Amino acid sequence: MPQHLRNKIQNWVFDLDNTIYPAASGIQHQVDERMPHYIMRQFGLDYDAAREIQKDFYYRYGTTLSGLVQEHKIDPWHYWDYIFDIDYAALKHDLALREVLALLPGRKFIFTNSPHTHAQKVLANLGIAEFFSGVFDLTAAELISKPDPAPYAKMLAQFAIDPKTALFMDDVARNLVPAHKLGMTTVYLERPTHATDDAIHGVDAEISAYVDYQTDDMLGFLQNILA
């Protein structure tokens, strides 16, 4: 059980999408649906060809965007304006999460492969923005996505976080590897549905060594720490 983390952890670092809000909200699903359509429009491809490119970029670069930027010099805001043109109404104030964030001792941060504009909308809709000391987004990461190690070191430095006192939770298991290597405590948040490839998200033998905790219930996990 994770109760001892209450004394050890002073910096709580959360992924944003499908972590700080439930996958069932459909927010990430809406975004994922728009990604291949952007590539179809941009390159004049059919859906299947666009989807292949999208999955390949996601696998190799951590996000579709990082691939589009590095291989095709796409303007990130042109892409983000399109894929985040979604309905946020499904995200409501999360009172249980507010209570837990208020009680967890120490600072809280968001570390996301999405842009800050999307992060701000998500945090505002959930009613939890006030609890976060900082959001490290993909622009802060200079468009280098998790799990590339570069943004992890930059994020820790920017917020003056000692990794030994930090916990990092993400619904993509491979994103935990660099965090663990830097000395952070890692939590894999298992989600029931993934619009992209499940094989990319899950824990295999190679990754399991970098996963300190695994849960399918973020709120329950945090409540247990406080119990």
Interface residues with Mg ion (CB under 5 A) are 15, 17-19, 171
Q: Which helix (H) or strand (E) holds 53?
A: helix 47-61
Q: How far is the CB of 140 from Mg ion (least distance, A)?
A: 17
Indicate the residue among 40 and 110 with the shorter CB distance to Mg ion.
110
Indicate the residue among 11 and 18 with the shorter CB distance to Mg ion.
18
Q: Are 80 and 115 in contact (CB under 8 A)?
A: yes
Identify the CA nearest to 213 among candidates 200, 126, 132, 179. 179
Q: How far is the CB of 58 from Mg ion (least distance, A)?
A: 12
Euclidean distance between CA atoms 48 and 36, whole angstroms: 8
What is the number of the residue whose Cβ is closest to Mg ion?
Answer: 17
Euclidean distance between CA atoms 6 and 2, whole angstroms: 8
Indicate the residue among 6 and 34 with the shorter CB distance to Mg ion.
34
Q: How far is the CB of 171 from Mg ion (least distance, A)?
A: 4
Indicate the residue among 94 and 171 with the shorter CB distance to Mg ion.
171
Q: How far is the CB of 175 from Mg ion (least distance, A)?
A: 8
Indicate the residue among 11 and 113 with the shorter CB distance to Mg ion.
113
Is residue 105 exposed (0-12), middle (13-18) or buried (19+ Cβ within 10 Å)?
exposed
Q: How far is the CB of 56 from Mg ion (least distance, A)?
A: 19
Amino acid residing at 125: N
Euclidean distance between CA atoms 81 and 57, whole angstroms: 19
